[in-house]
Amino acid sequence: MSTTTPKVSLASELATRATESTHTRTHRLRIILAGAIGNVLEWYDFGLYGLLAPMLASLFFPGHDRTAALLGVYGGFAVGFLMRPVGAYALGYLADRVGRRLVLALTVLLIGLSTVAVGLLPTYESVGVWAPLLLIGVRLVQGFSVGGEFVDSVAYLVESAPPGRRGLMGSFANLGSTGGMLLAAAVAAFFTSFVSTELLLGWAWRVPFLFGGVLACGAFLLRRHLPATLIETAAKQTEQQTAPLRQAIRKQRGTLLATLCFTSGYGIVNYLTMVLLPTYAREFGGVTDGQALRINTAGQSLALFVVPLSGWLSDHAWTRRKAQAVIFAAEAIVGWKCFELVKDHGVAGLWVAQLVFAFLLAMVMGSDPAMLAEQFRNEYRVSAHAVTFNIGIGLFGGTAPMVAMALIRRTGNQMAPAVYLILAACLATVSVLMLRENSRKPIE
């Protein structure tokens, strides 16, 4: 009896551990999927709008001046970003005071409704000037909801991470973003390559936007009953009289400023290389819509593998802040040559430029979510991160394609976007070195 009892106990203990391990893995997988899927939806919509800009320009901003029409549709793109800081403040407040999970569920509903609404809008041919006005109105609502989505999901993932895994867990938010952009690029490439122009401009352009509603339903189902993180629970139990953002301004003003400068440079680089570049190749490099979007899809596919690898490496091989500085310095070095390749060598040049830009940006996206979340305390983490992120990425990044087209129009120099990119990359390189290195420290 005494000889068999230890064996039974050991077997029972091993079975219990195996069950707990399976439960932990399932729990963590659900957290990762829930954190990532909202960003899939967010960037599917924004990517689709940016990549289909030439077509939307014809439908909502018709005119004889092609550059002016593109400025109009990119203006609609930028206007959505103008609401992101407002959404960041309101939804960040809710996330820090009420809880991350409420905001995670709310944002996917709002984003999904806005995406579907774009697919239902009448065009300029049907209602005249009301068409672009309605489009801009929908972008405002969408921008508000997006203001809290990405950063809230980052906070939830990073706070749920086991020791030594914050970089990897945070990277899944950007993996969702990359997946959304990849899905947008693939859908846009399919429709522009295999659907006739007449059919596309007639009604088929609506289908990709309506599909966003399906993604929104799946995201909401995943996010309905998520568990609270320990850090989130502790933050809510702390007596707080001052608004979260005011606390951040009072306690970490320098960090807020450095983060704002970093995200501004990062945002400009992001949107010039992954959203503007296909249109730039079409307008100035003689590349067709289908070719440009297929190459963009290949770049997004590369990023899909690089993002989690970069997050893992930031946990084990190098620190996040220094890695970001090196990568943005590389962006500044290659920026001019890549745009030159696209302009002078068409399809072949776009292949090289898009893959180089996609790889570098994916290296940034793998480690920057955890790095920025680690800068702020839990009482105001979402508010501080969301406002700086959405002003930087939203106002400066979101307007980057429009500014780049305006620079070309004003100067007559087709290489103006490359200069803009280099300046932005230099800003990101300098400002990231002003942040704290918290990669190996416990999260506060």
Whether the per-residue pLDDT at 14 is higher than 60: the answer is: no
Q: Average pLDDT of 130-148?
A: 84
CA distances (Å), origin 196, targets 203, 205, 257, 270:
11, 11, 49, 31
Asked whether residue 5 is domain-assigned, the answer is no
pLDDT of residue 118: 86
Contact 147, 86 (CB under 8 A): yes
Which residue segment(s) compose the domain that 121 sits in? Answer: 33-224+243-432
Confidence of residue 153 (pLDDT cuts 50, 70, 90): confident
Confidence of residue 2 (pLDDT cuts 50, 70, 90): very low
Asked whether residue 138 is domain-assigned, the answer is yes
Asked whether residue 367 is domain-assigned, the answer is yes
At 364, which amino acid appears?
A: V
Asked whether residue 7 is domain-assigned, the answer is no
Most confident of 174-183, 203-212, 350-359: 350-359
- Number of folded domains that form the chain: 1
pLDDT of residue 429: 96
pLDDT of residue 6: 44
Residues 343-362: pLDDT tens digits? 999 899 999 999 999 999 99
Residues 54-80: pLDDT tens digits? 777 778 777 656 666 666 666 666 677
pLDDT of residue 69: 67
Task: Read off the CATH number of the domain in which 113 is found.
Answer: 1.20.1250.20
Asked whether residue 161 is domain-assigned, the answer is yes
> In the chain, pLDDT over 90 holds for what percent of residues?
25
Whether the per-residue pLDDT at 363 is higher than 90: the answer is: yes
Q: Which residues neighbour 52 within 8 Å (Cβ) at sequence distance 6 or greater? A: 188, 192, 205, 208
Q: Average pLDDT of 130-142?
A: 84
Asked whether residue 11 is domain-assigned, the answer is no
Asked whether residue 286 is domain-assigned, the answer is yes
Q: Which residues neighbour 386 within 8 Å (Cβ) at sequence distance 6 or greater? A: 88, 89, 91, 92, 95, 147, 148, 151, 152
Whether the per-residue pLDDT at 221 is higher than 90: the answer is: no
Residues 25-34: pLDDT tens digits? 676 777 788 7
Asked whether residue 375 is domain-assigned, the answer is yes
Work out the end-to-end distance of the chain between its first and last CA atoms, rounded to an integer number of angstroms.
Answer: 51
Mean pLDDT is lowest, of 190-199, 249-258, 349-358, for 190-199
pTM score, two decimals? Answer: 0.79
Confidence of residue 16 (pLDDT cuts 50, 70, 90): very low
Confidence of residue 243 (pLDDT cuts 50, 70, 90): confident
